Amino acid sequence: PPVGPALGQAGINIMGFCKEFNAKTQEQQGYVIPVVITVYEDRSFTFVTKTPPAADLLKKAANVEKGSGEPNKNKVA
C-alpha cells in the first residue's frame, strides 16, 4: 500500500523518507520490500527493511510475471 498518506498523517517528511529508503534499497530494485517504520513524538523516524516475500523471490527466479490464477488447473512453466 502507498505509504505517503500514512507518513503525511504522522507528520513525517515524505521526501526525506523516500530518499533514505531508496538509498538503502537501491540494490534491491524491482522487488517488493516490506518495511517497519517507527515514528517518534518529535516526528523523527527510523525504519527497518525486511526480506522480500518468498513468492516474489520465486517469481523473479522463475522469470514469470505472476503465478497461476487457478493453481489446480493451470500450471506456470
CATH 3.30.1550.10 fits 4-52, yes or no: yes
DSSP-derived 3-state class of residue 2:
coil
pLDDT over 90 (residue 73) = no
Q: How far apart, in Å, are the Cα atoms of 61 and each of 33, 37, 67?
A: 16, 28, 12
pLDDT at 63: 86
- In angstroms, the CA 44 to CA 10 distance is 10
Residue 1: pLDDT over 70: no
Task: Give per-residue pLDDT as tens, 6-60.
Answer: 888 888 888 999 999 999 999 988 888 999 999 999 989 999 999 999 988 988 8
Annotated domain spans of the chain: 4-52
Residue 61, pLDDT > 80, answer yes
